[in-house]
Each structure stands twice: as structure tokens, then as C-alpha cells.
Chains A and B, each alone.
Chain A
Amino acid sequence: MNIFMLGWEFPPFISGGLGTACYGLTRGLNDLGHRVIFVLPQPVSGEYATHVRIKTPSALMAETACRSYSIEEFENVEFRAIPSTLQAYGSPSDALTEEWVTSGQSIIETEHAASGPGGHGAVESVPASRTHRGGSSGHYGGDMFSETQRYARIALALSRGESFDVIHAHDWMTFPAALLVARTSRKPLVVHVHSTEFDRSGDNVNQRIYDIEREGVHTADRTIAVSFLTRNILLTRYAAPADRVHVVYNAIDNNGGKIVTPPTIRRDEKIVLFLGRITMQKGPEYFLAAAKKVLEFVKNVRFVMAGSGDMMRRAIELAAELGIGHKVVFTGFLRGDDVARVFKMADLYVMPSVSEPFGIAPLEAMSHDVPVLISKQSGVSEVLAHVLKVDFWDIDEMANKIVAVLRHPPLRSTLRHHGTFEIRKLTWRDSAQNCVDVYQQAVANRQGGR
């Protein structure tokens, strides 16, 4: 099939699972022989630059140059990048967080030194020019709405010269564009919900975003939710039509990871890792509260919080208030090899999310052979059996399980042993095939005269 795909993130410009999922699904579709035109608000480059070649410097758009790419490993995918200055999730920053992050990075850098001449010397950071950090409007930097409208106009213009069978749009930022393209092209629309406004903001929803999401799932021919958890939210809070909402789980490419030199000197300290945006949704305060309790039983343990977000300052202060500041390390946002390195060091990965539509990070942890503890309030909990699970609010049980993992090597080895096999069953190729099945239903439905 020919798919006109509208996305907002693609590696390495990612702030969460959305970009990772788009990458995986696109690769799966590519491997299955489907043709994808992928429209993005920013160019594909960074560490992927070596694989990227600019195919056709395309026509100048009214507002700005729009460039077309293809990437060698994606022979059937063309990327259309719309220059943009915005990211989906801003990273508020201030002096306090900078200071803590700088000191926290040393834990990674020590590992770099140990990994020899091949290792990188410093933490790769996002060039300031490409990251918008002026987040005053909650999770989103700058004027997201006018940006989504601009993206929509350009996407529409791009779509006019293409032939495709179905439109596939990822999350609300691309929904205005998707609706526009669908109306004009009269092609079936599939919207993919990776997270809802309720996941991101609790009950303090942004009404405009909610309205865009609602219009998307009601107008689309089919909706893909990343879990039954998310599907239930779509049915109950958006009144989405049940017969048109399908679940397609995310996946992990086990052999896609780079081999990173493991730390040569093993500290006698155990490491419990939190990795993700430090926001309300991810439950950082439950992680710290559990850490405090764990330290009553196990002394030689350090808690690493890798990531940034609007609750980072609060998390740093909370660690200090709890009197465990010396046991908690903040590394700031990590990417690429640094993510792999921090996983190699970890004895346990904890994802205490309050609300997690799916949660790819536990799969990444498992692919790095790290035992995993996740909250039951996560979509990924629906697909994983060989992990530890807790309610995010049950910090006693969270501490109980963390202590058990630290104390009992057989628990770690059994989780690793079975986890390795378990994630091998979750491939992007299968997820992509499930998307194709949904496309085909959407197309068939149109032909049947909906």
C-alpha cells in the first residue's frame, strides 16, 4: 500500500516514545514492502546523517523550503521535512537543574573513560538552536497551535503531488493536517493515538487539544490506540466509536541496538534507574518516595534519574527534602549511546508512571538485559508477563520489590532470562502488519460505501 504518514518526531529528535514508535513502525512497513511518504516538521539528521541523502531539493513552498529525503535503510520511505522550530515537549531549564544535571553527568562520563578510546568523551546534548526551551505553556513550547496549522497547510500542499491509499497520522499535533489532507484527497484516514491529553495533563486538560483529539478520533475511518488502557480512555472520555478503535501494541527491535562497551569496573553499588521525562505523568515523586524506603533496608544503592522535564526541579528538591539527595543522581536528558550506557549500569529499571498509554522504555531496558518494574497503570503492562508490576501509588510495595531485586540475584537472573525471550515476540514488523490490517479495513469500509 501507499501510505501518507504525518508525524511529529523522528530519531534523533525525540522527546519520548512517539518518535521511537514512528521509527519502528516505518521500518516495519518498509520491510513489508509498503511505500511510505513521511511528513515531518524537522529534518532527519544528527547521528542518522551518514545514512541520509537528499534526494530532491523540492519546490520552494510559500513560507519556507521543504526538503525531501530518503534514508538508505528505508528504501520505500520518503521523508518530507518542514523546517520548524518547535518540539512536542519543551524542557524548562534553570540554574538549579543545570547544576544538578552537570554533576549527575559525571556518572556517565566515568563510564566513558572506562570504555576506552572508542567511547565518547562527553554527553551528547541537543544543540540549543534546535531545541526550544521557553516552555511557559505547560508541556508545549511556544505557540503549538499556529505551528500545527502551519504544518497542516504545508502537508496539504505536499499531499497534492502524491498518490496514496491511506493517511496515517500520529497524535494530535498532526490531526489538523490529517483532517485537511483527508478532506481534500478523499482518502481514508487512520489516526494513531500514542497518548491522550488526559495522560499528559491529568484532569487539567487543555480544552483546545482535547477538541482536536476528539475531532480526530470521530472523523477518522479508523483509530489505532497503543493499548487497551488508551482505547478505554478514547471510548469513555472521547466517546470514540468502539467498533472503529483498534489496539496495536508498540514493539522493539532487539537487534537494532548498538553494542556498547560495558563498564569495566563494577562498583559495589547497585543502581536503580528511572528513565523518562520527569513529569507528573511519569510518577517521579513515587520513585523518590520508594527510594527513601528502600534505603532503610539496603545501603549500597544509588538511584539514577535520567531525563528532563517540568518536574525536574521539584524532583531535585524532593530528594533533598527526603534526605536522600546524596543517593539520587540526575543525569539530564540522555540519547543514543548514553541511554545504552546507563542501561548497562542498571540493576533495575523502574517505570512508576501514573498514566502511561504504552511505555516503550521498559522494552528497551529488557533489550539491554535489565530487569524491569513497571506500574500496572501502563499499556505495556498488558503485553509483558516477565516483569514486576505495582500500582504506582503503592510505594511500600514498590520498595518491597526493589529491595527484593537488589537482595536476590536469582530474581534478577530469572527476570532477565524470560524477559529476553518475551521481547523477541514483540517486533515492529508485526505491529506494522497490524497497522496494515487496519488500513485495509479503512479502505474496504470506504469501498463498501460507509
Chain B
Amino acid sequence: MASVCIYFQVHQPYRLRRYSIFDAGHNYFDDQKNAEICRKVAHKCYLPANQCILDLIRVHEGRFRLAYSLTGVVLDQFAAYAPQVIDSFKRLNDTGCVEFLAETYYHSLSFLYSRKEFEEQVALQQAKIASLFGQKSTVFRNTELIYNNDVAAAVHKLGFRAVIAEGADHLLGYRSPNFVYQAASCPIVVLLKNYRLSDDIAFRFGNRGWTEWPLTAEKYAHWVNQVNGNGYTVNLFMDYETLGEHQWADTGIFDFLYHMPGEVMKINRDNDFKKPSEIVDAYPACGAFDAPHLISWADTERDLSAWLGNAMQSNSLQEVYALGKAVAAKKDEDLLSDWRRIQTSDHFYYMCTKYFADGDVHKYFNPYESPYDSYINFMNVMDNVAARTK
């Protein structure tokens, strides 16, 4: 039998407003634009997708199961701008078929710079999930699937049973991401993303130039079923915004989503859907996943170069975390919250100069005209935050 394990990432950053050297206020964020984007994506993606998932769970009488990872900052923005999204997640939670993963509240790169800050942000996100949904997560995913042996060891120490990572070819070699692995550094389970089958949906679904277009539920179920005999689980991990936002509704993505689970279970009655924690219970780890160097799920490089690829990015990250002690010493809740919101990885992603001149996927998500503009704006905000610590 083959299991399908789906996890959707749900996140929106607090985008900064235009903040020049002539600005001095403490309102750093573009409230209007953040509200607008949050509501727009709620209507194009979160609400229709949640409804579709709820229908699937009911139609398949609980045999369709999946997980979400919700950042603290997206939940805060839902509460402020689109509270009906939280209600719809609560309805999903009530079915018992949905699991929520643990991550940093601020979708930050804190693991790389401050272990203490990292742990605090994970605790904050866990408290938020517990208060909204009454769940305690047992599976962890780090921002952008940034992972190495140290990440595994750190979250094992925090009590998690499993951690999610990219099924990077250069680490797997001939091995398949469709098995369950154990971290090389400690006894924690590692669930690896099957990036081919995930990207077929996330990136290629609506691409008319793709030889497999149009992708039907039947065809996809056939691909999934081929895993039988050479693996236990197909881990489909992707941004939730794939549904209706990156792949627009008129590509047929919602129809695909609605029919795919039925087809997977029809083609082989042993196939099923499992939540990540159920995968951990069901299958034994059959090898060690050794990641001495950092990997992520970004770009073809699967490394950190989208956030740490140039001098502007490493400089701004270093300087943000260098403020940590001074911010803590102030014991000012607003200051702490502002400092944490500017840690969100998106701010550093906007500064990425990789492929910038070619105009590609990076541009699509970028509110700035250029990576240089985003760095300048960010540094102006950070200078003001820094001044408040003095």
C-alpha cells in the first residue's frame, strides 16, 4: 500500500511600508496593503480551498487526512483582516482529520542566528495553535524547510517526534524520498518532500507548455500508485496559496484537488491518506538522512542562497539578530513584536539578487521594484528599531 501525506504551508508576512530616512514613526508596516492581500488571498485561496478540503473529508468519511503549518503572523492577520478564515480552519479541525505542524511564529530564520530566539518563537506558535485548535504538534517544520543535522537535534530536544525536510537529490543519492528516515544526529524521524510530485501540482499544473499538461486526477493517481513496492509514502508539501493564487481557479486546480484523493484510493484500495504523525506511527525508519550542510526547499539550488546569497542579506540578518539583547532588555512588548515581525524570512527573500535581471518566480512575490530598494527600506526600518533600544 502507498500513503499520501499532504502538508500545506500557510503564511503571509507583515509587509513593510515605504520607510525612508525622513520617516521617524514606529508604524513600519503597510496595514492597508497587508489587509488587502490577506482578504484577496482569503477569497481566492484560503476560503474556497478550506471548503474543498472539508467536502473531501466528508465525502471520504474521514479517509482523506492532511496537515497544515500556520505561522503566527498569518493567524494574527486573519484575526485582524479575515476572521472567517480562522473559523473555517476550526471547522476543519473539528473533523479530527487535520493536523497542525509546529514552526516559528514569525516564519523567521532565527534558527541560524539565535537558538534562544528560535525556541521562544516555536513556543509562541505552539501556544497559538493550542489556544485556537486545542492541538499540540508533534511534527516540526522549519522556515522554508531549512534543515540540517543540527535542526534535527534541536527540535528533538524540544520534544518533537518528526521533522520535515526537502528530499534533496544531492543528499538522497539513489535513495527515494518515499521512505521514512531517521536523522543522522539523533533519534527523530525525518519526512522528506517528494519534490517531483509536489512541484507537478505547485509549479507545473497550469503550464500549457508542459508535456504532461493537462494534469488529470487519474493521471496523477497513476503516478502516485507507482510508489507501491518502492516506498511507503508520497509526501506532498507545498504552499497553500498554490490553490487559487499561484495556480488560478481557471486552471482547474480546485477540480483536480477535489477528484485526486478519490482517484488515488480507487486505483488501489490499499492506498490511503495519512497525517504526518500517522506516517511516523505506521512506518519504520529505514535509513539515516545525513544533512551536514543546510538545505531548503527553495529554487533549484535547494540551499540558503535565496535568503543569504548576497552581502545585503547577510548584513541585514546579522544586524537584526545583533539587536536581540538590547530589545529584550527594554521589556517593551511593542518593540519586541516589531523586532520579531521584521525577522520574517520574506524581507530577506525580497533582497535576493539571484536571477533578478532575468525576471522570474522571485519577482512574482516581491513588492519591491528591486532587491536594492528592499534592502534600503529594510535598513531604514531597522535603524529606527535599533534607535528605540537605546
Residues of A whose CB lies within 8 Å of any CB of B are 297, 385-389, 396-397, 399-401, 403-404, 407-411, 413-415, 417-418, 422
Which residues from B are CB-within-8-Å of A403? Answer: 21
Contact A414 B314 (CB under 8 A): no
Q: Which of B290-313 contact A (CB under 8 A)?
A: 310-312
Given contacts A396-B20, A400-B21, contact A414 B356 (CB under 8 A): no
Which residues from A are CB-within-8-Å of B20? Answer: 396-397, 400
Additional pairs, 10, CB under 8 Å, beyond known A397-B20, A418-B356: A396-B22, A400-B376, A400-B380, A408-B312, A410-B315, A411-B375, A411-B376, A413-B311, A414-B310, A414-B311
Complex CA–CA separation, A277 to B379 (angstroms): 34
Which of A385, A397, A410 contacts B370, CB < 8 Å?
Answer: A385
Which of A386, A400, A409, A411 contacts B356, CB < 8 Å?
Answer: A386
Contact A400 B22 (CB under 8 A): yes
Which residues from B are CB-within-8-Å of A409? Answer: 311
Which of A386, A404, A413, A418 contacts B376, CB < 8 Å?
Answer: A404
Question: Distance (Å) between the CB of A404 and the closest chain B CB?
Answer: 4
Task: Name which of A389, A401, A404 has the most chain B CB atoms within 10 A of its CB.
Answer: A404
Contact B372 A388 (CB under 8 A): yes
Contact B356 A385 (CB under 8 A): yes
Question: Distance (Å) between the CB of B384 and the closest chain A CB?
Answer: 13
Q: Which residue of A lies closest to B369 (CB)?
A: A389
Given contacts A385-B370, A400-B376, A408-B379, contact A414 B353 (CB under 8 A): yes
CB of B387 within 8 A of chain A?
A: no
Q: Which residue of A lies closest to B356 (CB)?
A: A385
23 residue pairs bridging A and B, Cβ less than 8 Å apart: A385-B357, A388-B370, A388-B376, A389-B369, A399-B22, A400-B21, A401-B376, A403-B21, A404-B21, A404-B376, A404-B379, A404-B380, A407-B379, A408-B312, A408-B375, A411-B312, A411-B375, A411-B376, A414-B310, A414-B372, A417-B311, A418-B353, A422-B357
Q: Which residue of B lies closest to A402 (CB)?
A: B21
Which residues from A are CB-within-8-Å of B372? Answer: 386-388, 411, 414-415
Contact A408 B315 (CB under 8 A): yes
Which of B21, B312, B369 contacts A410, CB < 8 Å?
Answer: B312
Question: Distance (Å) between the CB of B37 and the closest chain A CB?
Answer: 24
Complex CA–CA separation, A400 to B373 (angstroms): 10
Contact B21 A386 (CB under 8 A): no
Complex CA–CA separation, A387 to B356 (angstroms): 12
Complex CA–CA separation, A386 to B376 (angstroms): 14
Q: Which residue of B lies closest to A405 (CB)?
A: B376
Which residues from B are CB-within-8-Å of A415? Answer: 372
Residues of B whose CB lies within 8 Å of any CB of A are 20-22, 310-312, 314-316, 353, 356-357, 369-373, 375-376, 379-380
Which residues from B are CB-within-8-Å of A388? Answer: 370, 372-373, 376
Which residues from A are CB-within-8-Å of B376? Answer: 388, 400-401, 404, 408, 411
Question: Distance (Å) between the CB of A395 and the closest chain B CB?
Answer: 11
Question: Distance (Å) between the CB of A338 and the closest chain B CB?
Answer: 29
Which residues from B are CB-within-8-Å of A413? Answer: 311
Complex CA–CA separation, A410 to B313 (angstroms): 9
Given contacts A389-B369, A396-B20, contact A410 B314 (CB under 8 A): yes
Question: Distance (Å) between the CB of B371 and the closest chain A CB?
Answer: 8
Which residues from B are CB-within-8-Å of A399? Answer: 21-22
Question: Distance (Å) between the CB of A436 and the closest chain B CB?
Answer: 26
Complex CA–CA separation, A413 to B312 (angstroms): 8
Q: Which residue of A lies closest to B310 (CB)?
A: A414
Which residues from A are CB-within-8-Å of B369? Answer: 389
Complex CA–CA separation, A404 to B353 (angstroms): 17
Which residues from B are CB-within-8-Å of A389? Answer: 369-370
Question: Distance (Å) between the CB of B386 and the closest chain A CB?
Answer: 13
Question: Distance (Å) between the CB of A253 and the closest chain B CB?
Answer: 20
Which residues from B are CB-within-8-Å of A396? Answer: 20, 22
Which residues from B are CB-within-8-Å of A407? Answer: 379
Which residues from A are CB-within-8-Å of B357? Answer: 385-386, 418, 422
Question: Distance (Å) between the CB of B296 and the closest chain A CB?
Answer: 21
Q: Which 3 A-B pairs have the closest CB atoms?
A: A410-B311, A410-B315, A385-B357
Which of A297, A397, A414, A422 contacts B312, CB < 8 Å?
Answer: A414
Which residues from A are CB-within-8-Å of B314? Answer: 410
Q: Which residue of B lies closest to A413 (CB)?
A: B311
Complex CA–CA separation, A397 to B376 (angstroms): 11
Task: Name which of B22, B311, B372 has the most chain A CB atoms within 10 A of its CB.
Answer: B372
Question: Distance (Å) between the CB of B20 and the closest chain A CB?
Answer: 4
Which residues from A are CB-within-8-Å of B316? Answer: 410
Question: Distance (Å) between the CB of A400 and the closest chain B CB?
Answer: 4
Question: Distance (Å) between the CB of A347 and the closest chain B CB?
Answer: 15
Complex CA–CA separation, A124 to B371 (angstroms): 40
Q: Which residue of B lies closest to A415 (CB)?
A: B372
Which residues from A are CB-within-8-Å of B312? Answer: 408, 410-411, 414
Task: Name which of B21, B356, B370 has the most chain A CB atoms within 10 A of its CB.
Answer: B21
Which residues from A are CB-within-8-Å of B353? Answer: 386, 414, 418
Question: Distance (Å) between the CB of B373 and the closest chain A CB?
Answer: 8
Question: Distance (Å) between the CB of B116 and the closest chain A CB?
Answer: 26
Q: Which residue of A lies closest to B379 (CB)?
A: A408
Which residues from B are CB-within-8-Å of A400? Answer: 20-22, 376, 380
Q: Which residue of B lies closest to A384 (CB)?
A: B357
Question: Distance (Å) between the CB of B258 and the closest chain A CB?
Answer: 41
Q: Which residue of A lies closest to B375 (CB)?
A: A411
Question: Distance (Å) between the CB of B383 and the closest chain A CB?
Answer: 8
Which residues from B are CB-within-8-Å of A414? Answer: 310-312, 353, 371-372, 375
Question: Distance (Å) between the CB of A407 and the closest chain B CB?
Answer: 8
Which residues from A are CB-within-8-Å of B311? Answer: 409-410, 413-414, 417
Task: Name which of A297, A386, A399, A410 has the most chain B CB atoms within 10 A of its CB.
Answer: A410
Complex CA–CA separation, A417 to B312 (angstroms): 12
Complex CA–CA separation, A354 to B61 (angstroms): 67
Which residues from A are CB-within-8-Å of B22? Answer: 396, 399-400
Which residues from B are CB-within-8-Å of A297? Answer: 21
Complex CA–CA separation, A399 to B22 (angstroms): 9
Question: Distance (Å) between the CB of A380 and the closest chain B CB?
Answer: 14
Which residues from A are CB-within-8-Å of B310? Answer: 410, 414, 417
Complex CA–CA separation, A407 to B373 (angstroms): 14
Complex CA–CA separation, A386 to B311 (angstroms): 14
Question: Distance (Å) between the CB of B310 and the closest chain A CB?
Answer: 5
Question: Distance (Å) between the CB of B99 and the closest chain A CB?
Answer: 41
Complex CA–CA separation, A253 to B315 (angstroms): 33
Q: Which residue of B lies closest to A388 (CB)?
A: B372
Complex CA–CA separation, A302 to B353 (angstroms): 30
Question: Distance (Å) between the CB of B307 and the closest chain A CB?
Answer: 14
Question: Distance (Å) between the CB of B176 and the closest chain A CB?
Answer: 38
Complex CA–CA separation, A400 to B380 (angstroms): 9
Q: Which residue of A lies closest to B318 (CB)?
A: A410
Q: Which residue of B lies closest to A416 (CB)?
A: B311
Complex CA–CA separation, A106 to B32 (angstroms): 52
Complex CA–CA separation, A389 to B356 (angstroms): 15
Complex CA–CA separation, A386 to B20 (angstroms): 20
Question: Distance (Å) between the CB of A349 and the closest chain B CB?
Answer: 15
Complex CA–CA separation, A13 to B353 (angstroms): 39
Task: Name which of A387, A400, A403, A417 has the most chain B CB atoms within 10 A of its CB.
Answer: A400
Complex CA–CA separation, A408 to B382 (angstroms): 13
Complex CA–CA separation, A401 to B316 (angstroms): 16
Complex CA–CA separation, A86 to B141 (angstroms): 72
Question: Distance (Å) between the CB of B381 and the closest chain A CB?
Answer: 12
Which residues from B are CB-within-8-Å of A418? Answer: 353, 356-357
Complex CA–CA separation, A410 to B375 (angstroms): 10
Question: Distance (Å) between the CB of A106 and the closest chain B CB?
Answer: 31
Q: Which residue of B lies closest to A403 (CB)?
A: B21
